[in-house]
């Protein structure tokens, strides 16, 4: 067996085409969806992600606003920007790029975002709603993984899914989404006992630990579908390249399908951000949202 490569770029392009249609429909009603992106500091990867978010927004017709603050900006300055955006009715989505500099509390900043504009789905109101199965704004990377899984497997009900990693951005919301799709879900983490054996029982493996090529063929049940969320830059033969949390070469002969890195989950993150921005704009202009 050799695993099918799940093409995240192609799926992201389909999502973006759907979003462009939704944006056009909103504009026909006089609503121009708008996304504000806040970047604090000069982390090179974050700068690339923010640039790509602004580019994708333009491509689908979403108006974007960029706020760049220096690495020495205070929490109060970041909060002032967020509060201004909360109060601006022409802005539908607010995103603060993570990580923030160490002297700023991510929780404090994320909690300051109006939950209705929280297109990252990180506010506790949206986190709680997700765990209760309410239709809330959902973190982009896990939402993208779900789209790839549904396109690959169809109905996920009854599948045993193992999520490796328990971060707030990926692992925990991923587990909640899989549960909402009627999977049996196991979450593995650094204190798990015999993680390999547990992972080896999974029909679906979502790897989100941030450790290059940690998961090899021994962890994977033959025929499993593997979603690799890791984006790790390593030096290989004197050259810098990106690898996932899964040893893809080793796992491909065992799995039935796997996401590549790059070109798998990564492009879906930005596509789902555009999707969330349109959802937020639609909800903010629906009659019930104004009651
Ligand atoms: N506020 C947020 N901050 C961060 C998030 C997030 O969802 N919201 N996620 C990550 C970074 N991220 C988006 O912000 C992101 C990561 C990776 C990609 C991507 O397209 N990756 C490409 C490879 C890109 C490269 O060459 O470096 C791929 O995997 O194909 C998009 C977005 C942390 N911060």
ipTM: 0.96
Alpha carbon 11 to its chain centroid, in Å, reads 14
Calpha distance 257→228 (Å, rounded): 11
Closest CA to 187 of 114, 202, 66: 202
Axis-axis angle for helices 124-131, 171-180 (nearest 10): 40
Q: Does the annotation count 47 as an active-site position?
A: no
Could you give the domains of the chain? 29-114 (3.40.50.10860), 140-267 (3.40.50.720)
* Residue of 13, 231, 233 with the most ligand 1 atoms within 8 Å of its CB, for mutation: 231
Cα 259 to chain center, whole Å? 14
Phi-psi region of 217 (alpha: psi -120 to 50; beta: other; left: phi over 0): alpha
Q: How far is the CA of 89 from the centre of ligand 1 (A)?
A: 27
Nearest CA to ligand 1 atom 25: 262
* Coil vs helix vs strand at 14: helix
Return d(Cα 286, Cα 278) in angstroms, integer: 12
Instruction: Compute, in angstroms, the gap from residue 25 CA to the centroid of ligand 1.
Output: 28
Q: Whose CA is nearest to atom 10 of ligand 1?
A: 98
Tens-of-pLDDT digits for all 291 residues of the chain? 799 999 999 999 999 999 999 999 999 999 999 999 999 999 999 999 999 999 999 999 999 999 999 999 999 999 999 999 999 999 999 999 999 999 999 999 999 999 999 999 999 999 999 999 999 999 999 999 999 999 999 999 999 999 999 999 999 999 999 999 999 999 999 999 999 999 999 999 999 999 999 999 999 999 999 999 999 999 988 999 999 999 999 999 999 999 999 999 999 999 999 999 999 999 999 967 544
114 belongs to the catalytic site: no
**How crowded is the C-beta side of 123, counted as CA atoms within 13 Å?**
18
Element (H, E) at 93: strand 93-96
Element containing residue 266 per DSSP (H, E): helix 265-284
Q: Are 65 and 10 in contact (CB under 8 A)?
A: no
The best mutation among 230, 266, 272, 276 to test binding of ligand 1, ranked by most ligand atoms within 8 Å of the C-beta, falls on 266
Query: How close is the Cα of 269 to the center of ligand 1, in Å?
Result: 6
- Between 140-153 and 265-284, two packed helices, what is the crossing angle to 10 degrees? 110
């Amino acid at each position: 067996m050799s695993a099918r490569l799940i093409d995240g770029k192609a799926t992201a392009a389909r999502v973006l085409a759907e979003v462009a249609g939704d944006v056009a429909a909103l504009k026909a009603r006089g609503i121009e969806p708008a996304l504000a992106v806040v970047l604090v500091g000069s982390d090179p990867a974050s700068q690339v992600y923010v640039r790509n978010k602004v580019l994708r927004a333009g491509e689908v017709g979403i108006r974007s606003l960029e706020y760049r603050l220096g690495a020495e900006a205070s929490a109060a300055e970041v909060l002032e920007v967020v509060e201004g955006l909360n109060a601006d009715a022409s802005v539908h989505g607010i995103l603060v790029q993570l990580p923030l500099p160490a002297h700023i509390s991510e929780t404090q900043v994320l909690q300051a975002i109006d939950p209705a504009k929280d297109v990252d789905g990180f506010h506790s109101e949206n986190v709680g709603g997700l765990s209760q199965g309410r239709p809330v704004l959902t973190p982009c990377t896990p939402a993208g993984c779900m789209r790839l899984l549904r396109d690959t497997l169809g109905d996920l009900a009854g599948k045993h899914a193992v999520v490796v990693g328990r971060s707030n951005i990926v692992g925990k919301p991923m587990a909640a989404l899989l549960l909402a799709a009627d999977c049996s879900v196991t979450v593995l983490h650094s204190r798990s006992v015999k993680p390999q054996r547990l992972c080896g029982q999974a029909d679906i493996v979502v790897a989100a630990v941030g450790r290059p090529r940690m998961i090899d063929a021994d962890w994977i049940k033959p025929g499993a579908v593997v979603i690799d969320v890791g984006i790790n830059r390593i030096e290989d033969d004197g050259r810098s390249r990106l690898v996932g949390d899964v040893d893809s070469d080793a796992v491909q002969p065992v799995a039935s399908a796997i996401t590549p890195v790059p070109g798998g989950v990564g492009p879906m993150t930005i596509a789902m951000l555009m999707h969330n921005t349109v959802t937020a704009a639609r909800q903010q202009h629906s009659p019930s949202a104004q009651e």
